[in-house]
Amino acid sequence: MPFLTTPIPDLLIFEPQVWHDERGYFFESYNRKTWQDAGLEVDFVQDNQARSTQGVLRGLHYQTGEMAQAKLVRAVEGEVFDVAVDLRPDSATYGKWYGILLTAENKRQLFVPRGFAHGYVVLSETAEFAYKCDNYYSKANEGGLRYDDPQLNIDWNFDLTEVLVSEKDRELPFFGAHRH
């Protein structure tokens, strides 16, 4: 089975089977039947891609209410440290975070269910980051948390004094003040 569990229920690592030969490699980055066979019914409706330079930190973002999104995220080029924070109020892991190295080389993907905040920092010189979403983006339903929240205490595997963060992300609320 290509799915690995994490310490946070429903947050899964997807490791696709990769076929290598003298020409390079091939793998299925997504196959609906593989997901259905694992009991995962996710209807992805939107694909997004971002290019960033080393030290760019994007997040922590989420969508609220009926516009909540599950995401399947991966690095197409380069390396990122990817983080998901459980914001499901009834979860035993509420407020806990999980981080994983996603690289073009390891081809790992992280499935981030609805009810999580998500973000990543670029570790390589540049990175192309791609993700599938099961709901459409809605500006009216966007939310977020500060990446440097002391209560969450996320270890980004990068010096936070050197990250490049948008003004919008610098103004996000701390965990104790968020609404979802």
pLDDT tens, residue by residue, 113-125: 999 999 999 999 9
Q: What is the mean pLDDT of residues 156-173?
A: 96
Paired tokens of 48:
């997004």
How distant, in Å, are the alpha carbons of 9, 128, 144, 146 from that of 149?
22, 26, 11, 5
Q: What are phi and psi of 3, to 5 degrees?
A: -105, 130
Paired tokens of 30:
């997504």
pLDDT, tens digit (0-9, with 9 covering 90-100), for 123-158: 999 999 999 999 999 999 999 999 999 999 999 999
pLDDT, tens digit (0-9, with 9 covering 90-100), for 46-78: 999 999 999 999 999 999 999 999 999 999 999
CATH of region 43-177? 2.60.120.10
Global pTM value: 0.94
Beta bridge partners of 129: 50, 75
Determine whether 131 is an active site residue.
yes
Beta bridge partners of 68: none
Confidence of residue 177 (pLDDT cuts 50, 70, 90): confident
Task: Give me the catalytic one of 62, 120, 131, 147.
Answer: 131
pLDDT at residue 1, rounded to an integer: 61
pLDDT, tens digit (0-9, with 9 covering 90-100), for 100-111: 999 999 999 999
Task: Give me the catalytic one of 61, 118, 147, 178.
Answer: 61
Confidence of residue 178 (pLDDT cuts 50, 70, 90): low
Q: What sign does the CA torsion over 95, 136, 81, 156 have?
A: negative
Determine whether 180 is an active site residue.
no
